Amino acid sequence: MDDALKLKKATHNLWTFVVSKFISALGSSVYSFGISFYILSVTGSSLNFAINLICSLLPRTIFGPIAGALADRYSKKKMVIIGQIGETVAVTGLLVYIMLEGLSLPAIYLTTVCVSIAATFNSIAFTSSIANLVDKERIQKAMAFNQTSLSLATIGGPVIGGFLYGFTSIEVFLSIFVIAFIIATLLDTTMDFRLYSKMNHDEARQEKLLTNIKEGVAYIRKQELILRIVVVSLFINFFFGAFEIGMSYILIGQLGIQSQHFGFIEASIAVGMILMSIFIGIRKPFSSPLTIAKWGIISMGLITGLFSMLVIVDMSYWGIVVYSIILLLSLGLLVVLVNTPIGVMMQTKVEEEFRGRVFSLLETMAMALMPLAMIIFGVLYEYVPSEYILIVSSIALIIVVFVLVPQKLVQKFSEEGKEELVKKPVIDV
């Protein structure tokens, strides 16, 4: 295949990928809004809501490593399509059940589990395919525009869902999900998932699945840069739990912010993510992505600490709202500024035959820490002043970044593509 035709196909892959992800993410967002609202409004139980959340998180944690190993052994395109079909069939099954028997919590929980399992295979196969879908020069663009579409869907889903909830039934929410995923699946069938692939899948299939997963763990342990990125990501997910719980606890529980104003504050993080995604998508690739990511994480740590000023400094009601919006908008900018360079490094530094396992193990460990962080910080906020928790978490995250990403490491990998990953374990995890 000549270069011109290959670039043309890569362009088709890029925009089809972005549109497909937006449509499916919007459908998922509308569906999640409808199901969550139903559980909370009909049952009035936070426990029922938490159970549904666990039904979503737990399967991702369990099936993540399996999905990663399979993505490295078999066709990623087939995994993406089968995963999307699985999600569509699960929700269609719930829709049919409602029409015949009416809606019930066990049916919702079972559907959530099935959707979560299918989404795990779909998501990991898609994420590990980006470097195969587009040329190296446009990996950053693909990841940035993908983030833009996801952020727009995050904002649009609740808006559409809120409008529909008062006028339509839960069947409409489910139908939107099914239609969106059918369209996304049809779009995905037109993409070439092996356009820039150099991998021989037949060789990968010869080994046992468990052996493949162990090899993925061993691979991460041997790669200095990848291992440090994984460990730092785990600390980010853990300490960021202090901010996620603290934000709602402080603004609603301690400062009495009204619901409509709290909505604007929450939405500002998505606005920041959209703005930064667009900026990164139209600019040239970063020359030193590790430097950008390092200082972006440090800045996120500073924002976590600055949020404590809401309870330390006496502010007016509108001063609290404006200050919170500025911090959340800045945080949204930084989240994309950190995630995109790290994502590009992972796509370019991780060898193709290990991408599925590396991304799945990273996601699995992050998912496993989220409930733990929520429990620990949820208890701490009951007994420890919120400002102390935020400040300590901020300092701890900044220290972790300086220790695990020293300047000598940044300099070593500053010129992308010119440095080889060191083939020896650095951190024992």
Tens digit of each residue's pLDDT (9 = 90 or more) over 66-108 = 888 888 888 889 999 999 999 999 999 999 998 888 878 889 8
Whole-structure pTM value: 0.74
Distance, in Å, from the CA atom of 152 to the CA atom of 360, rounded to the nearest integer, reads: 25
Tens digit of each residue's pLDDT (9 = 90 or more) over 36-59 = 777 777 776 667 776 877 788 788
Distance, in Å, from the CA atom of 213 to the CA atom of 361, rounded to the nearest integer, reads: 9
Long-range contacts of the stretch 260-267 (C-beta < 8 A, 24+) = 261/321, 264/321, 264/325, 265/321, 265/324, 265/325, 265/328, 266/328, 267/155
Tens digit of each residue's pLDDT (9 = 90 or more) over 342-359 = 888 888 788 888 888 888
Distance, in Å, from the CA atom of 252 to the CA atom of 79, rounded to the nearest integer, reads: 42
Distance, in Å, from the CA atom of 415 to the CA atom of 385, rounded to the nearest integer, reads: 44
Q: What is the pLDDT of residue 417?
A: 46
Q: How far is CA 189 from the centre of its chain?
A: 23
User: What percent of the chain has pLDDT above 90?
Assistant: 17
Distance, in Å, from the CA atom of 223 to the CA atom of 275, rounded to the nearest integer, reads: 33
Tens digit of each residue's pLDDT (9 = 90 or more) over 326-344 = 999 999 899 888 888 888 8
Mean pLDDT, residues 203-217 taken together: 70
Distance, in Å, from the CA atom of 311 to the CA atom of 309, rounded to the nearest integer, reads: 5
CB-neighbour burial class of residue 279 (10 A; exposed 0-12, middle 13-18, buried 19+): middle
Give the confidence band of 424 by pLDDT, cuts at 50, 70, 90.
Answer: very low
CB-neighbour burial class of residue 139 (10 A; exposed 0-12, middle 13-18, buried 19+): buried
Distance, in Å, from the CA atom of 366 to the CA atom of 352, rounded to the nearest integer, reads: 22
Q: How far is CA 329 from the centre of its chain?
A: 18
CA dihedral 73, 78, 82, 84 (to 10 degrees): 110
Q: Name which of 317, 174, 331 is nearest 244 in CA terms.
A: 331
220-234 burial code (b ≥16 CB/10 A, e <16): bbebbbbbbbbbbbb
Give the confidence band of 418 by pLDDT, cuts at 50, 70, 90.
Answer: very low
Tens digit of each residue's pLDDT (9 = 90 or more) over 237-281 = 888 878 877 887 788 778 888 766 777 787 788 888 888 888 888
Q: Does 325 or 411 have the greater pLDDT score? A: 325
Tens digit of each residue's pLDDT (9 = 90 or more) over 219-241 = 888 887 788 888 888 888 888 87
Distance, in Å, from the CA atom of 385 to the CA atom of 200, rounded to the nearest integer, reads: 56
**Residues 6 or more apart in contact with residue 177 via CB below 8 angstroms:** 27, 28, 30, 31, 87, 88, 91
Amino acid letter for position 308 = S
Distance, in Å, from the CA atom of 124 to the CA atom of 126, rounded to the nearest integer, reads: 5
Q: What is the pLDDT of residue 142?
A: 85
Distance, in Å, from the CA atom of 335 to the CA atom of 280, rounded to the nearest integer, reads: 12
pLDDT at 319 over 70: yes
Q: Name which of 413, 414, 424, 69 is nearest 227 in CA terms.
A: 424
CA angle 240/244/248 to nearest 5° reads 155
CA angle 46/47/50 to nearest 5° reads 85
Tens digit of each residue's pLDDT (9 = 90 or more) over 10-33 = 899 999 988 998 888 888 877 877
Distance, in Å, from the CA atom of 213 to the CA atom of 332, rounded to the nearest integer, reads: 34
Q: Name which of 37, 98, 208, 401 is nearest 106 in CA terms.
A: 98
Q: What is the pLDDT of residue 177?
A: 85
Give the confidence band of 206 by pLDDT, cuts at 50, 70, 90.
Answer: low
Tens digit of each residue's pLDDT (9 = 90 or more) over 358-399 = 888 877 777 777 777 777 887 888 888 888 999 999 999 999
Distance, in Å, from the CA atom of 392 to the CA atom of 322, rounded to the nearest integer, reads: 24
pLDDT at 421 over 50: no
Q: What is the pLDDT of residue 302?
A: 93
CB-neighbour burial class of residue 92 (10 A; exposed 0-12, middle 13-18, buried 19+): middle
Please report the domains of the chain, with CATH numbers, ordered by start residue: 3-192 (1.20.1250.20), 215-412 (1.20.1250.20)
How does the average pLDDT of the chain come out, rounded? 82
Distance, in Å, from the CA atom of 253 to the CA atom of 381, rounded to the nearest integer, reads: 11
Give the confidence band of 201 by pLDDT, cuts at 50, 70, 90.
Answer: low
Q: Does 130 or 85 have the greater pLDDT score? A: 85
